[in-house]
């Protein structure tokens, strides 16, 4: 068997309960001036931001704080970069969900530039970022995007002519990622559900990606193995259980590694134009259409002469999620059916909103599909197929 693939580097990872305490000695390795990027309110309400600020002060570390509300826009990044460009910032720290992680990543990359981030966004500008940045430490407080392990920052301009585009360079991978499940215990059930489904979607899509390889397969399978019995409990009776939160955090981290190396599929191909036009959380989009998209992929793969490899991989996950061994061709259809049933059940149990709850109507679907792509989907889907996926979740 001939193997050929690339695998991107990952950050220095510090994982475990209480590992936030490592932050202060890490900052000191870079200097004594830090820019902290946080979300709109959750870190403040939990009291954790106050604790961090006190410890920074006790360690004679100079700090400034930026609040990020919603997904980072070009104007937010430009304003922050301009404000702190001449402030001798030694290190940037992003503490929050995926939007905060991306915002911090982009700000660290743009402080050293004199122009707008729009000039460097893929499909928007005509410049290529050279990778020079302020050192960046990513500390996720949700288990979702896996952005703490990727080289791109997703920037959004929402509206009829909106977009979700990436600032991307190998050097923009965070220098350090601190994953402390203690920070995720206060995450609300609805956010945990959406973020968790985003992470699981990334794991499943990278596992069955046409660009997957043995390393990404092993990692993605491992991530799904940890998440499968933690997702629903994390949103209900075990939201404060550190082992449950650790499993979710691990799956999310791994999903960042696998998407960066194997790519994603039609769910994310549809999610991007939806998120560009409507104010709908990315995880809700992914979670609400995952079962429909998986069902469609399996249907098309069964009609493909080259679909058996991908069908077996889907069946692997069906067996994993249903705790049934998969070792005979006879059980293929059963495991495929189980996979679809479980994903539909998760969608219902986690109360994932339908697309219409965010103002998306039948009239919008053709425009969404027109700007959608398949990415590394394991089988070709036409516009009719993608339309059906969306129509079934209105």
For the chain, the helix, strand and coil percentages under 3-state DSSP, each to the nearest 5: 55, 10, 35
Q: Give yes or no: residues 285 and 319 share one domain.
A: yes
386 pLDDT higher than 80: yes
Q: What is the pLDDT of residue 2?
A: 67
Q: Give yes or no: residues 219 and 280 share one domain.
A: yes
Q: Which residues contact 146 (CB under 8 A, 6 or more apart)?
A: 98, 199, 202, 252, 253, 254, 255, 256, 257, 259
232-271: per-residue pLDDT in tens?
Answer: 999 999 999 999 999 999 999 999 999 999 999 999 999 9
Coil vs helix vs strand at 293: helix
Q: What is the pLDDT of residue 134?
A: 98
Q: What is the mean pLDDT of the chain?
A: 95
Coil vs helix vs strand at 154: strand
- Domain assignment of residue 331, yes or no: yes
Q: Which of 126, 159, 184 is the last residue of a domain?
A: 184
Q: Give yes or no: residues 84 and 206 share one domain.
A: no
Q: Which of 184, 219, 252 is the last residue of a domain?
A: 184
Q: Which residues contact 20 (CB under 8 A, 6 or more apart)?
A: 52, 139, 178, 180, 182, 183
Range 118-125 average pLDDT: 96
Length of the chain counted residue by residue: 394
pLDDT > 90 in the chain, percent? 92
Q: Give yes or no: residues 62 and 76 share one domain.
A: yes
DSSP string, 217-230: HHHHHHHHHHHTTT
Q: Give yes or no: residues 267 and 295 share one domain.
A: yes
CATH number at residue 132: 3.40.50.1970
109 pLDDT higher than 80: yes
Range 132-138 average pLDDT: 98
CB 265 within 8 A of CB 297: yes
The 10 Å Cβ neighbour count of residue 106 is 33
265-324: per-residue pLDDT in tens?
Answer: 999 999 999 999 999 999 999 999 999 999 999 999 999 988 999 999 999 999 999 987
- Domain assignment of residue 6, yes or no: no
326 pLDDT higher than 70: no
The backbone torsions φ and ψ at residue 138, rounded to the nearest 5 degrees and listed phi first, read -105, 130
328 pLDDT higher than 80: no
Q: Which residues contact 361 (CB under 8 A, 6 or more apart)?
A: 394
- Domain assignment of residue 316, yes or no: yes
369-382: per-residue pLDDT in tens?
Answer: 999 999 999 999 99
The 10 Å Cβ neighbour count of residue 8 is 12
CA–CA dist 210, 297 (Å, integer): 13
Domain that holds residue 263: 189-391
Range 325-339 average pLDDT: 80
CATH number at residue 360: 1.20.1090.10
Q: Give yes or no: residues 193 and 145 share one domain.
A: no
Question: What is the Cα 381 distance to its own chain's centre?
Answer: 23
Provide the token pair at 166.
Answer: 């990436």
- Domain assignment of residue 4, yes or no: no
Q: What is the pLDDT of residue 40?
A: 79
CA–CA dist 358, 283 (Å, integer): 13
- CA Rg value for the chain: 21
Q: What is the pLDDT of residue 41?
A: 77
Counted domains in the chain: 2
Kind and range of the H or E run holding 32 = none
- Domain assignment of residue 248, yes or no: yes
Could you tell me the pLDDT band of residue 133, with boundaries at 50, 70 and 90? Answer: very high
pLDDT > 70 in the chain, percent? 98
Q: Give yes or no: residues 172 and 306 share one domain.
A: no
- Domain assignment of residue 3, yes or no: no
CB 100 within 8 A of CB 174: no
3 pLDDT higher than 90: no
Q: Give yes or no: residues 225 and 155 share one domain.
A: no
Q: What is the pLDDT of residue 70?
A: 86
Q: Give yes or no: residues 119 and 231 share one domain.
A: no
- Domain assignment of residue 339, yes or no: yes
Q: Give yes or no: residues 111 and 207 share one domain.
A: no
Q: Give yes or no: residues 338 and 374 share one domain.
A: yes
113 pLDDT higher than 90: yes
Instruction: Give the HSE-up count for residue 19: Cα atoms under 13 Å, Cβ half-sphere.
Output: 18
Provide the token pair at 348.
Answer: 């219902």
Q: Give yes or no: residues 374 and 340 share one domain.
A: yes
355-364: per-residue pLDDT in tens?
Answer: 999 999 999 9
**How far apart, in Å, are the Cα atoms of 336 and each of 206, 298, 332?**
17, 8, 6
41-85: per-residue pLDDT in tens?
Answer: 778 888 889 999 999 999 999 999 999 988 999 999 999 999 999
Q: Which of 150, 184, 218 is the last residue of a domain?
A: 184
Q: What is the pLDDT of residue 327?
A: 60
CB 111 within 8 A of CB 64: no
Handedness of CA 71, 263, 123, 120 (dihedral sign): positive
- Domain assignment of residue 5, yes or no: no
Q: At what angle do helices 282-302 and 383-391 cross, to 10 degrees?
A: 130
Could you tell me the pLDDT band of residue 333, with boundaries at 50, 70 and 90? Answer: very high
More confident residue, 331 or 324: 331
CA–CA dist 71, 164 (Å, integer): 10
Range 24-40 average pLDDT: 95
């Amino acid at each position: 068997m001939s193997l050929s693939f690339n695998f991107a580097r990952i950050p220095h990872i510090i994982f475990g309960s209480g590992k936030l305490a490592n932050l202060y000695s890490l900052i000191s390795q870079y200097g004594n001036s830090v820019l902290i990027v946080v979300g709109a309110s959750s870190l403040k309400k939990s009291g954790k931001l106050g604790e961090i600020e006190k410890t920074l002060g006790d360690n004679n570390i100079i700090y400034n704080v930026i609040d990020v509300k919603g997904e980072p826009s070009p104007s937010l990044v430009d304003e922050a970069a301009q404000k702190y460009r001449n402030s001798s910032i030694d290190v940037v720290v992003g503490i929050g969900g995926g939007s905060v992680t991306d915002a911090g990543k982009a700000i660290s990359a743009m402080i050293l530039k004199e122009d707008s981030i729009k000039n460097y966004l893929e499909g928007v500008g005509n410049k290529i970022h050279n990778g020079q940045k302020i050192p960046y430490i990513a500390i996720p407080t949700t288990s979702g995007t896996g952005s703490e392990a990727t080289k791109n920052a997703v920037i959004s301009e929402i509206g009829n002519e909106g977009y979700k585009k990436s600032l991307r360079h190998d050097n923009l991978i965070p220098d350090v990622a601190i994953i402390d499940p203690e920070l995720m215990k206060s995450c609300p059930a609805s956010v945990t559900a959406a973020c968790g489904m985003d992470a699981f979607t990334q794991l499943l899509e990278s596992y069955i990606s046409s660009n997957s390889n043995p390393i990404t397969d092993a990692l993605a399978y491992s991530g799904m193995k940890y998440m499968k019995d933690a997702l629903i409990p994390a949103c209900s009776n075990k939201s404060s259980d550190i082992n449950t939160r650790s499993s979710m955090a691990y799956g999310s981290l791994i999903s960042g590694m696998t998407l960066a190396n194997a790519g994603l599929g039609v769910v994310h191909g549809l999610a991007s134009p939806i998120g560009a036009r409507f104010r709908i959380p990315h995880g809700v989009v992914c979670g609400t259409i995952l079962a429909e998209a998986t069902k469609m992929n399996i249907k098309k793969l069964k009609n493909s002469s080259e679909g058996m490899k991908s069908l077996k991989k889907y069946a692997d996950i069906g067996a994993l999620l249903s705790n049934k061994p998969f070792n005979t061709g006879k059980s293929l259809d059963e495991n495929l059916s189980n996979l679809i049933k479980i994903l539909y059940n998760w969608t219902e149990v986690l109360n994932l909103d339908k697309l219409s709850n965010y103002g998306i109507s039948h009239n919008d679907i053709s425009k969404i599909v027109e700007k959608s792509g398949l990415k590394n989907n394991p089988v070709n889907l036409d516009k009719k197929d993608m339309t059906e996926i969306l129509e079934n979740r209105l």
